[in-house]
Structure 1
Amino acid sequence: MELQDELYERVVIICSQGDDLVNSFDLDNAIQMYLKALDLVPEPKHNWEASTWIYIALGDTCYMNKDYNASKDFLFNAINCPDGIENPFIMLRLGETLYELGDVNKAKDYLLRAYILEGYSIFENEEEKYFDVIKSEI
């Protein structure tokens, strides 16, 4: 489902502000902006396309902030939103997050899914250790 135009515009503006904060490495405030945007999305949040990319932004920013537990939670929420299960970036970042949490076997599942959906190119800008987890499987 898509948000009404006016609400969608408000969410986009707030997320843009969050993106600007990420770009200036103000990750804590970026997370707050994304949470503010998510609060505008009606319940149930998992029904809305906007929730997919807001949860991705939250998961990615928490990952960059080394808050891997929060990252994992947001990324699992993203999977359950429209088109989330087919999104290779969610699979990649979730695999990396699980790796950092020490759950290498589960990380392998998601990293393999990212590879299947996107190929090696999704790993090109990532640390080699993540691709190494699945290298023997492909």
Structure 2
Amino acid sequence: MPTQLPDEIHNQIVLLSKQGDDLAQKGDLEAAKERYIAALRLLPEDHIQWNAATWLYVALGDAHFRTGAFDKAHKCFINAIQCPDGLGNPYIHLRLGQVNFESKNLGRAADELARAYMGGGMEIFMEDDPKYLEFLETRITV
């Protein structure tokens, strides 16, 4: 397997991702999701081997999370964790914890939120609803 994507494909992925990010920032999450999916489709077979897959799955998962599509968000973050530098990434574990919390899978939520806390400290929780950190505090001493 090559170590880098061809420039043309890489540039298309970066462009689609930026468009998705801009749309997400403006609140058009459905259009953002379409851009992220289009970018993922440009990756060669065995796409989870590529670095781009990690951040594309995270971006797509975030969009699903923000729209309350927790099952789809969960699938995206599970995919992201299998991609390069996914396992152990505090942000991915944070989102997995939040998705599991929202899905009432509290044991798994506590585990993932603890991983996020261990990797990213309390700061990683500061931009989200305090309920996630409050929940984690009921499970471990932070």
Give TM-score scaled by structure 2 length.
0.94
Select the structure that is richer in helix.
1
> Partners in 2 of 1:29 and 1:70 — Cα distance?
16
Letter in 2 for 1:84: G
1:15-61 per-position Cα deviation (integer Å, ceiling 9, x unaligned): 11101110111111110110000000111011000000000001011
Letter in 2 for 1:57: A
In structure 2, what is the equivalent of residue 98 of structure 1?
100
Q: Secondary structure at the match of 1:66?
A: coil
In structure 1, what is the equivalent of residue 26 of structure 2?
24
In structure 1, what is the equivalent of residue 59 of structure 2?
57
Runs of 4+ in 1 over 3 A off after TM superposition: none
1:72-130 per-position Cα deviation (integer Å, ceiling 9, x unaligned): 00000000000000211100011101111111110111100000001000011111110
Q: Secondary structure at the match of 2:83?
A: coil
**Does the 8 A contact of 1:2 with 1:49 survive in 2?**
no
**Does the 8 A contact of 1:3 with 1:50 survive in 2?**
no
Identity %: 38
Deviation at 1:4, TM superposition (A): 2.0
> Partners in 2 of 1:47 and 1:114 — Cα distance?
23
> Partners in 2 of 1:68 and 1:13 — Cα distance?
26
Superposition pairs of residues 52-131 of structure 1, within 5 angstroms: 52-131=54-133
Q: Structure 1: 5+ residue runs without aligned partners?
A: none
Letter in 2 for 1:116: M
Q: Secondary structure at the match of 1:85?
A: coil
What is the aligned residue count? Answer: 138
> Partners in 2 of 1:2 and 1:23 — Cα distance?
29
**Does the 8 A contact of 1:14 with 1:34 survive in 2?**
yes
C-alpha RMSD of matched pairs (Å): 0.9
Q: Which one of the candidate residues 21, 42, 45 is aligned to 1:40?
A: 42
Q: Which one of the candidate residues 9, 12, 30 is aligned to 1:10?
A: 12
> Partners in 2 of 1:78 and 1:50 — Cα distance?
10
